[in-house]
């Protein structure tokens, strides 16, 4: 068995996330306590009790997701240490992956995602993102090339076969709709975001994040981190810092990341964090893979049992 740990993306959040893990596993509770002490508002209160509107505000979503994902990892490690071959996170989940790999202290990662959320929330309202369902990346790219300038519209997330997200100006997103439908797109789903994230329009945010990154300590990774930008395992602290700043203006290469881990022998993917968005994507990318998730006490117990069973020699 070869394991990769995955960390949940924005959109996975839900009121109540992480609560029963914190109530049932001391290590998970300690993560929430650390987050509450690090910030000037209570992450645990927001994650467990809402209100939902505030939890869905990216300025609060990102630190709450980071905390919940790291708490899920702590709960898993208290029961069983799967000794992962790789860690990876989708978009903001990459910050949790860096904590898991020992690159960033949780307190520093929290301050960085708070800054990331502030910068994202401050973006002008002329940018947006749309999920394209039913087309592969190449077909989406061809439609974009016909309808818009690459400076205005790009593939932002290559999530899974048949699930691609575009990011750009609202004018360009509107202009490409007809070409996408003509190519066979089943649905176009506008995302509830405040800007054109993971696109060249985020260049200024990248530069501001790079400044914030320089103020915290970075360590080489104890476990290879598969970068959203390169879809390659990375370990060197300076390289990881540079790629994480670049991530906000570059596509999330999730399909390539999962395939890279599969090609390196990973057969088991464990998502740490609320929901199961990433395990669903993995199943579409690598159907033969074993997928587990740790979102609450029930899924923790199921994952612990599955990992224990898989590690017993036959």
Helix, strand, coil share of the chain (percent; to 5) = 50, 15, 35
| Tens-place pLDDT, residues 80-135 | 989 999 999 999 999 999 999 999 999 999 999 999 999 998 887 789 999 999 99
180 token code pair = 């996408």
- Alpha carbon 204 to its chain centroid, in Å, reads 21
Catalytic residue numbers read 91, 198
Q: Which residues of the chain have pLDDT under 50?
A: 314
Name the one residue in this structure whose structure tokens are 């923790």.
300
How far is Cα 176 from Cα 207, in angstroms, rounded to an integer? 29
Amino acid 147: pLDDT: 87
Torsion angle in degrees (nearest 10) through CA of 270, 274, 278, 283:
70
pTM of the model: 0.95
Select from 69, 76, 63, 61 the least CA-distant residue to 18. Answer: 69
Amino acid 313: pLDDT: 52
| Tens-place pLDDT, residues 214-240 | 999 999 999 999 999 999 999 999 999
Do 90 and 66 meet the contact criterion of CB atoms below 8 Å apart? no
Number of continuous H segments (helices) and E segments (strands) in the chain: 14, 10
Residue ranges of domains in the chain, CATH in brackets: 3-122+201-311 (3.40.366.10), 127-193 (3.30.70.250)
Taking the CB of residue 188, how many other CB atoms lie within 10 A of it? 17
Amino acid 312: pLDDT: 55
- Alpha carbon 299 to its chain centroid, in Å, reads 19
């Amino acid at each position: 068995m070869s394991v990769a740990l995955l960390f949940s993306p924005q959109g996975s959040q839900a009121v109540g996330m992480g609560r029963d893990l914190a109530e049932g596993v001391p290590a998970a509770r300690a993560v929430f306590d650390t987050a509450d002490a690090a910030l000037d508002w209570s992450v645990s209160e927001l994650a467990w009790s809402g209100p939902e509107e505030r939890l869905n505000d990216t300025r609060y979503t990102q630190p709450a997701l980071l905390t919940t994902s790291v708490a899920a990892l702590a709960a898993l490690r208290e029961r069983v240490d799967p000794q992962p071959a790789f860690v990876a996170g989708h978009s903001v989940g990459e910050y949790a992956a860096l904590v898991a790999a020992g690159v960033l202290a949780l307190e520093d990662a929290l301050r960085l995602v708070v800054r990331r959320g502030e910068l994202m929330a401050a973006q002008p309202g002329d940018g947006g993102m749309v999920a394209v369902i039913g087309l592969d990346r190449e077909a989406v790219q061809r439609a974009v090339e016909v309808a818009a300038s690459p400076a205005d519209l790009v593939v932002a997330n290559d999530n899974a076969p048949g699930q691609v997200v575009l990011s750009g100006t609202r004018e360009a997103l509107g202009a490409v709709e007809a070409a996408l439908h003509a190519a066979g797109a089943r649905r176009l789903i506008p995302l509830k975001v405040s800007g054109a994230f993971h696109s060249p329009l985020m260049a200024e945010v990248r530069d501001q994040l790079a400044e914030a990154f320089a103020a915290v300590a970075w360590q080489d990774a104890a476990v290879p981190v598969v970068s959203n930008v390169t879809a390659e395992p990375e370990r060197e602290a300076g390289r990881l810092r540079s790629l994480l700043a670049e991530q906000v203006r570059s596509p999330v290469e999730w399909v390539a990341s999962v395939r890279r881990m599969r090609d390196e022998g990973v057969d088991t993917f464990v998502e740490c964090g609320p929901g199961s968005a990433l395990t669903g994507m993995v199943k579409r990318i690598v159907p033969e893979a074993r997928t587990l998730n740790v979102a609450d006490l029930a899924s923790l117990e199921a994952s612990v049992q599955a990992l224990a069973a898989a590690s017993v020699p036959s």
